[in-house]
């Protein structure tokens, strides 16, 4: 009778989207079984703690009561993480804090080598280096611990009630170590979190209450600490917002504790990030396998439209084991603050199914997967990163993703230079009914082993001439060889702006491709963008050697610029990709299917 009722319940749940709480109830027990079993076998318990620093420039004294204030704040943040992990079903796992005999936290005081005016928001590394010897004397290696550095870099005018800060304020880290830089001030005080008056004027946030100031900056400590523990940005889905409030790793750094003032629901941890923290050595109380190198891969990947979104399935192969698979749905632009998440627990054979639903409409997005290992490590599955689109009516398009996944074996053979094997894989693909884009891309990939064998555009016949398959007069790139219809390293697939292109010119900045047109063509058309996964900045330019015929705006990853340029009478055509002022790192420019027509 019980099994029959349970089956009916599971069928009912599968027929509709799970609520956030049902999602937690379905996944966390399964994740815990994997985690607990691994750590119970030859256990290695170990207590990991945050190490706290108050750093002050040489010409300044610390703000009053810094130990009392910062101790209260960190203990409150410790309780926040514990409550959130408890709510998710992991028990009160949380950060470790070093208490001293007087009940306050141990905070190392470090005096800088220079006066206030010689430091600014970009001084994080220099400040950390000044803290390193002080921490080393206390037996703390900043390379192998998680450290929070409070910088005495605020300016508070009590009479005018104005506040400004010029402090490093960022963080990064993994399950092994991390550093978060924060700002301290006389107003950073847990007791003021509920205060509405008197207001102050903050140089960044304007006229705000003392409570709002502390929501922002105490929330900022909790948020940056998340980065130091290895968490990326992650916004909340609409259903999560209605149930819990604002995701800490999204905009929740500005809403922390606002529920105590009756101004909102406050901040919360998403299920995705609670899953990731569950195995962090500081949260799990175990150092088993903390230092080992992990290996992971995903096999049998599939992506299909499902409901109002899409489903991604596959099988994880990893060492040490993976206990959770997290998917991030990240709209283009806005960095990753607005990325939402889904998650799944692999079964005994490693199979998983991620449901990416409630997607933002009206644009391009990227889906990526992170694998959570039982030792606390998190591996980004590079082969499971693909673009998708959702139109204004909510229709999902994963055509490019499906094509990329099915082309993975062929792309691997091409990348390895195994051309006979690539030809056999092409024949296998061509033997079935597959989309034109997939087959065209596969065919051009195999043909790309040859240098452009067609004549120069000036000698070409017919009404269409594809530049990637024409002989250039000159071809130079800023990194790697000049190749056509593929990329030279890693995956050879030409993907830019979320679109897959069968043909194109690889043009890492600073690049220059010159063609002899002989005055015989009327129009050059195509698209220009950075290869997906490359975070450089470039500018594309088309000239005839004397005149600029077209120039793109500054182009970043995800941008894709159409061009249609009159070239009637042009003798020499030059395609250039320039590096922006930040140099040419990751400037993988792509001229996507540039085509001449008469």
Same domain? 256 vs 313: no
In a domain, 471, yes or no: yes
Which of 256, 284, 312 lies at the terminal end of a domain, its last residue?
A: 284
- Give start and end residues of each alpha helix (H) in 140-252: 210-228, 238-244
Q: What is the pLDDT of residue 598?
A: 95
CA–CA dist 177, 290 (Å, integer): 11
Task: Taking residues 255-262, report their average pLDDT.
Answer: 96
Which range is least confidently modeled, 10-24, 169-183, 260-274, 352-366? 10-24
Same domain? 190 vs 327: no
Contact 273, 28 (CB under 8 A): no
pLDDT at residue 382 greater than cutoff 90: no
Q: What is the CATH number of the domain that holds 505?
A: 2.60.120.1060
Which of 389, 421, 447 lies at the terminal end of a domain, its last residue?
A: 447
Residues 6+ apart with CB under 8 A from 418: none
Q: What is the pLDDT of residue 2?
A: 38
The DSSP H or E segment spanning 304 is strand 295-306
Task: Taking residues 141-164, report their average pLDDT.
Answer: 97
Instruction: Report the half-sphere exposure of 471 (CA within 13 A, side-chain side).
Output: 7
Same domain? 79 vs 177: yes
Same domain? 401 vs 415: no
DSSP string, 357-370: -SPPPSEEEEEEEE
**Between 467 and 400, residue with greater pLDDT:** 467
Number of domains making up the chain? 4
Place of tokens 């993994």: 174
In a domain, 169, yes or no: yes
Task: Taking residues 543-565, report their average pLDDT.
Answer: 94
Q: What is the pLDDT of residue 358?
A: 80
pLDDT at residue 450 greater than cutoff 90: no
Task: Band the pLDDT of 13: cuts 50, 70, 90.
Answer: very low
Q: What is the CATH number of the domain that holds 351?
A: 2.60.40.10
Task: Band the pLDDT of 12: cuts 50, 70, 90.
Answer: very low
pLDDT at residue 14 greater than cutoff 60: no
Same domain? 43 vs 180: yes
Of residues 182, 221, 241, the one with CA closest to residue 80: 221
Contact 147, 180 (CB under 8 A): yes
pLDDT at residue 15 greater than cutoff 60: no
Task: Taking residues 334-340, report their average pLDDT.
Answer: 82
Provide the sign of the torsion angle of the four alpha carbons 316, 319, 323, 329, taken in this order: negative
CA–CA dist 50, 98 (Å, integer): 7
Task: Band the pLDDT of 452: cuts 50, 70, 90.
Answer: low
Give the chain's mean pLDDT. 93
CA–CA dist 476, 513 (Å, integer): 6
Cα–chain-centroid distance for residue 406? 24
Q: State both tokens at 454.
A: 């067609």
Contact 387, 498 (CB under 8 A): yes
User: 389: left (phi > 0), else alpha (psi -120 to 50), else beta?
Assistant: beta
Same domain? 46 vs 152: yes
Q: What is the pLDDT of residue 82?
A: 98
Q: What is the pLDDT of residues 407-448, one digit of tens each?
A: 989 999 999 999 999 999 999 999 988 889 999 999 999 999
Q: What is the pLDDT of residue 57?
A: 98
Say whether the peptide bond before residue 287 is cis (omega within 30 degrees of 0). no
Same domain? 223 vs 203: yes
Report the percentage of the chain scoring pLDDT > 90.
83
Same domain? 249 vs 337: no
pLDDT at residue 160 greater than cutoff 50: yes
pLDDT at residue 572 greater than cutoff 50: yes
In a domain, 5, yes or no: no
Q: What is the pLDDT of residues 162-199, one digit of tens each?
A: 999 999 999 999 999 999 999 999 999 999 999 999 99
Partners of 368 in beta bridges:
328, 385
CA–CA dist 522, 317 (Å, integer): 53
Provide the sign of the torsion angle of the four alpha carbons 271, 272, 273, 277, taken in this order: positive
- Give start and end residues of each alpha helix (H) in 229-334: 238-244, 271-278, 281-284
In a domain, 10, yes or no: no
In a domain, 7, yes or no: no
Which SS3 state, helix, strand or coil, does residue 155 take?
A: strand
CA distances from 125 to 117, 173, 444, 490 (A): 16, 14, 47, 32
In a domain, 49, yes or no: yes
Q: What is the pLDDT of residue 275?
A: 98
Same domain? 120 vs 161: yes
CA distances from 181 to 112, 131, 167, 173, 453 (A): 15, 12, 8, 12, 56
In a domain, 589, yes or no: yes
Q: State both tokens at 566.
A: 């009159």
Contact 244, 57 (CB under 8 A): no
Range of the domain at 102: 20-284
In a domain, 581, yes or no: yes
CA–CA dist 376, 387 (Å, integer): 28
Task: Taking residues 243-272, report their average pLDDT.
Answer: 96
Place of tokens 């894989």: 425
Task: Band the pLDDT of 453: cuts 50, 70, 90.
Answer: low
Same domain? 192 vs 52: yes
Q: What is the pLDDT of residue 570?
A: 97
Task: Taking residues 265-284, report their average pLDDT.
Answer: 98
Q: What is the pLDDT of residue 595?
A: 98
Same domain? 353 vs 488: no
Q: What is the pLDDT of residue 54?
A: 98
Same domain? 42 vs 144: yes
């Amino acid at each position: 009778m019980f099994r029959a009722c349970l089956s009916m319940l599971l069928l009912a749940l599968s027929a509709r989207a799970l609520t956030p709480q049902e999602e937690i109830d379905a996944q966390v027990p399964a994740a815990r079984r994997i985690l607990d079993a691994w750590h119970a076998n030859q256990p290695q318990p170990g207590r990991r703690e945050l190490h706290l620093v108050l750093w002050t420039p040489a010409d300044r004294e610390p703000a009053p009561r810094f130990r009392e204030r910062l101790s209260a704040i960190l203990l409150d943040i410790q309780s926040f993480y514990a409550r959130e992990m408890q709510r998710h079903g992991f028990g009160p796992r949380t950060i470790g804090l070093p208490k001293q005999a007087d009940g306050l936290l141990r905070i190392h005081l470090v005096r800088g080598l220079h006066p206030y005016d010689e430091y600014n928001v970009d001084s994080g590394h220099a400040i950390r280096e000044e803290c390193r010897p002080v921490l080393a004397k206390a037996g703390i290696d900043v390379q192998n611990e998680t450290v929070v550095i409070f910088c005495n870099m605020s300016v508070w005018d009590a009479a005018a009630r104005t506040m400004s800060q010029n402090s490093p304020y960022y963080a990064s880290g993994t399950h092994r170590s991390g550093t978060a830089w924060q700002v301290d001030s006389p107003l950073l005080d847990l007791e003021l979190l509920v205060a509405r008056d008197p207001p102050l004027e903050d140089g960044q946030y304007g006229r705000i209450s003392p409570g709002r100031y502390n929501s922002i900056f105490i929330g900022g400590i909790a948020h940056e600490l998340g980065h130091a523990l290895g968490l990326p940005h992650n916004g909340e889905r609409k259903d999560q917002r209605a149930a819990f409030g604002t995701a800490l790793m999204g905009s929740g750094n500005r809403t922390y504790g606002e529920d105590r003032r009756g101004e909102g629901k406050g901040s919360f941890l998403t299920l995705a990030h609670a899953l990731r923290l569950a195995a962090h050595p500081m949260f799990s109380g175990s150092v088993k396998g903390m230092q080992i190198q992990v290996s992971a891969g995903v096999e049998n990947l599939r992506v299909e439209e499902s409901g109002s979104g899409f489903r991604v399935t596959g099988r994880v192969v990893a060492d040490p084991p993976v206990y959770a698979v997290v998917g991030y749905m990240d709209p283009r632009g806005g960095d990753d603050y607005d990325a939402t998440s889904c998650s799944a627990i692999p079964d005994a054979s490693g199979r998983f199914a991620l449901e990416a639903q409630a997607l933002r409409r009206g644009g391009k997005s990227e889906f990526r997967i992170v694998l959570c290992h039982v030792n606390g490590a998190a591996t980004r599955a590079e082969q499971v990163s693909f673009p998708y689109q959702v139109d204004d009516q909510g229709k999902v398009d994963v055509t490019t993703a499906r094509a990329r996944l099915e082309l993975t074996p062929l792309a691997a053979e091409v990348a390895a230079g195994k051309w006979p094997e690539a030809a056999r894989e092409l024949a296998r693909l061509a033997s079935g009914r597959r989309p034109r884009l997939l087959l065209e891309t596969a065919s051009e990939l195999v043909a790309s082993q040859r240098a452009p064998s067609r004549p120069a555009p000036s000698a070409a016949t017919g009404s269409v001439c594809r530049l990637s398959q024409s002989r250039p007069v000159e071809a130079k790139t800023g990194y790697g060889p000049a190749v056509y219809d593929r990329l030279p390293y890693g995956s050879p697939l030409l993907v830019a702006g979320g679109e897959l292109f069968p043909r194109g010119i690889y043009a890492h900045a600073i690049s220059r491709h010159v063609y002899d047109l002989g005055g015989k063509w009327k129009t050059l058309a195509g698209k220009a963008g950075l290869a997906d996964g490359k975070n450089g900045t470039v500018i594309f330019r088309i000239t005839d050697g004397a005149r600029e015929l077209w120039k793109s705006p500054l182009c970043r990853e995800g941008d894709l610029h159409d061009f249609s340029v009159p070239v009637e009478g042009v003798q020499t055509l030059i395609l250039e990709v320039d590096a922006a002022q930040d140099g040419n790192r990751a400037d993988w420019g792509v001229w996507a299917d540039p085509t001449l027509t008469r």
